[in-house]
Structure 1
Amino acid sequence: MQLKNYTKEFRYNWKLAAPVMMGMLGHTFVSLVDNIMVGQLGTAQLAAVSLGNSFVFIAMSLGIGFSTAITPLVAEADAEKDFSKGKSSFKHGLFLCTAIGVLLFLLLYLAKPLMHFMKQPKEVVALAMPYLDLVAFSLIPLVIFQAFKQFSDGLSMTKYPMYATILSNVINIILNYVLIFGKFGFPEMGIVGAAYGTLISRIAMVWYMWYLLRNKEKSKNFVTHIKFFVLDTLMLKRIINLGTPSALQMFFEVAIFTGAIWLSGLLGKNPQAANQIALNLSSMTFMVATGLSVAAMVRVGNQKGLKNYFELRRIAFSIFLFGIILATVFALFFILLHKQLPLIYLDLNDAANFIDNSEVVSIASKLLLIAAFFQISDSIQVVMLGALRGLQDVKIPMFLVFFSYWIVGFPICWILGKEDAYGSFGIWIGLLVGLSVAAILLYIRFNHLTKKLIAEGEK
């Protein structure tokens, strides 16, 4: 098949994915702003935010992963023009996401004492405790927002979550500035101020998202007059069956990066802060791949509803190719600027912290070279996961992801990441290997399934 049969889809794929990318980048931008502002306070504070967020990211992965079950169901219903099926998918998804948000907050609150048993620097743990309380509570509005977002994506209305996220970022930046540093008469709260900014901005994000959808003709009947507690057991089971493996897929991936944070903490506060910088920058580019993953999920879900499996495969591979091209650009960006990018976070002119800051920048610049290489693997695996979710194939991919990250990747992180081995650099080599194995296995899975569907359709 000619290359243009794939490249001709780039414009529409970009139109669908770009708002998702911007919205996901917005979530990461909240973390970026927190890290840059907190980094001005010192490396211990930056490491504390890293440690606190490591707990939050694990819980967040479960909530966000579960919410992805809503998108393919709504996309399929939209292609079939079945309003009642679409509204039922959204209502039950919203109910389950709200319950999960509350549950995750309670679990994080109860898990706080684990910090004392993880051999992390004591000053870092002391700073992280109060920060975690507030950011954990912000998971409730965040997971509720995800239900609205995934519903909106399923209707191909990908712009509105982006608008809500932009508002959230503006609020977060303003509140961070006044609360972290004590401006305009507000108390100087340090990293707790960053946590308050995150919480308030996420509450505003939910309200604005609902407001936007309520005022659009295509979506208003879905998001109004919801009988929240009138539930259908079969629909609940369907979303749980789709959402649970998706949540675990995302959990396994986020957990290995969280494991990297904890392993870095064993090396000291400076390696942990350097890991946070490299991870934060990598997350920015990962959100672009995530946008393409959502586009793959929506478009594959639409074609599944139409039972057009040949087009489904062609469209998925066009997104796959687009992702590789963008990932290559990001890889070159990281290679060329690996020494300059960490300087965004830390000030080498700060005489009091010069030694610590210099060490962090040195480590982070080396980690960005590894991050450059896993851009392509990361893009392939996340786009393939999106396409498989669009097919509503989630259980086998869950096991493939677990094998890649925890049977292959994490043992390498553990062995090579010791202080007498390669340290932080060794941890990231393990991440690269895990992502690469996941990319290969998920590609094989998607390739096999789509060929099988096409063959069955031709009989």
Structure 2
Amino acid sequence: MFLSQYLKEFNYNLKLATPVILGMLGHTLVSFVDNIMVGQLGAAELAAVSLGNSFIFIAMSIGIGFSTAITPLVAEADSEKNFKKGKSVFKHGFFLCTVLGLGLFLLLLIAKPLMYIMDQPEEVVVLAIPYLDLVAFSLVPLIVFQAFKQFSDGLSLTKYPMYATIVANILNVVLNYLLIFGKFGFPQMGIVGAALGTLISRFVMLFFLWYILSKREKSRAYVTQIKFFKLKSRVLKKISNLGMPSAMQMFFEVA
């Protein structure tokens, strides 16, 4: 009796956790694919992508860590059948993630001169800067996506972010092929093409997840008709107090 109950709970948790794991893996795969495909251009290009991504991973860890505060608060509201509370958590988390994404983008732009004091060849730095500019901007849709993802996880709708991540990774490979190497009439953009592919795929990932959630009965009312002009400092502070320690933990793990 105990074993059967344990297996039932284990299978349920596994069904919830597997999409979450695959979704997190998907963020890393984007950079991994960029490395593989850009590596075919030469050693300098590969080094430039790796240098740019070293900055991106640090910023991304902060954004992803912060967004995890949304999940338990949404899950708590959902267990209480309190729609108003759940939507408030999502709205405030969405706002904070948007601000954080923009802030991290600007911070990376300011940090670009650090590349010149990292004892890297000038050729590598020159290649890395335009790549970093575009991929840094892709942090905005990525971290906003995280707000939707963590909200979705809080409602136990873990498979939808996974679908969005899979779509983004497939699109990234296709765009990389077209834009890095200039196939089928597209311009040959090299390392900038890889960055542009990442940027486009992350915007598509965000809108794809929003579209799915807006069509599902359980989540539709949460993600539509959001009134950002009605924000409460108490809720902003609560999410920030939960999110910042997680953000710092992930930051120190990655950095």
TM over 0.5: yes
- Give the match for residue 211 of structure 2: 211
- Give the match for residue 150 of structure 1: 150
SS of the residue corresponding to residue 218 of structure 1 reads helix
Residue 44 (structure 1) aligned with residue 40 (structure 2): no
- The 1:115/1:12 distance shift into structure 2, 3 A limit, reads same
Paired amino acid for 1:233: S
Larger RCO, structure (CA 8 Å, separation 6 or more): 2
Paired amino acid for 2:226: I
- Give the match for residue 134 of structure 1: 134
Give the Cα separation in 1 of the matches to 2:158 and 2:121.
Answer: 42
Deviation at 1:22, TM superposition (A): 2.1
- In the TM superposition, what whole-angstrom CA distance separates every residue of 1:118-162 from its partner, at most 9, and x where no partner exists? 112332212111100000011110010000000000000001101
1:418-433 paired onto structure 2 within 5 Å: none
Deviation at 1:3, TM superposition (A): 7.7
SS of the residue corresponding to residue 187 of structure 1 reads coil
Paired amino acid for 1:247: A
- Give the match for residue 457 of structure 1: none
Residue 77 (structure 1) aligned with residue 77 (structure 2): yes
1:31-110 paired onto structure 2 within 5 Å: 31-110=31-110
Paired amino acid for 1:208: F
- Give the match for residue 172 of structure 2: 172
Paired amino acid for 2:47: A
- In the TM superposition, what whole-angstrom CA distance separates every residue of 1:335-355 from its partner, at most 9, and x where no partner exists? xxxxxxxxxxxxxxxxxxxxx
Deviation at 1:25, TM superposition (A): 2.1
- Give the match for residue 25 of structure 1: 25
Give the Cα separation in 2 of the matches to 1:43 and 1:17.
Answer: 38
Paired amino acid for 2:72: P
Paired amino acid for 1:227: K
1:364-379 paired onto structure 2 within 5 Å: none
Paired amino acid for 2:173: I
Residue 111 (structure 1) aligned with residue 96 (structure 2): no
The higher radius of gyration belongs to 1
Q: Structure 1: 5+ residue runs without aligned partners?
A: 256-459
1:212-361 paired onto structure 2 within 5 Å: 212-255=212-255
Q: Alignment length, in residue pairs?
A: 254
Q: TM-score scaled by structure 2?
A: 0.95
Deviation at 1:165, TM superposition (A): 1.1
- Give the match for residue 13 of structure 2: 13
RMSD after superposition: 1.5
- The 1:7/1:219 distance shift into structure 2, 3 A limit, reads same
Paired amino acid for 1:199: L
Q: TM-score scaled by structure 1?
A: 0.54
Give the Cα separation in 1 of the matches to 2:8 and 2:168.
Answer: 34
Paired amino acid for 2:179: L
Identity of aligned residues (%): 73
Paired amino acid for 1:121: P
SS of the residue corresponding to residue 193 of structure 1 reads helix
- In the TM superposition, what whole-angstrom CA distance separates every residue of 1:103-128 from its partner, at most 9, and x where no partner exists? 11111011101100111233221211
- In the TM superposition, what whole-angstrom CA distance separates every residue of 1:165-198 from its partner, at most 9, and x where no partner exists? 1121122111100110111112211111100000
- The 1:6/1:118 distance shift into structure 2, 3 A limit, reads farther
- Give the match for residue 120 of structure 1: 120
Deviation at 1:6, TM superposition (A): 5.3
Paired amino acid for 1:53: N
Q: Structure 2: 5+ residue runs without aligned partners?
A: none
Give the Cα separation in 1 of the matches to 2:195 and 2:123.
Answer: 18
Paired amino acid for 1:80: E
Deviation at 1:4, TM superposition (A): 7.4
Give the Cα separation in 2 of the matches to 1:108 and 1:184.
Answer: 33
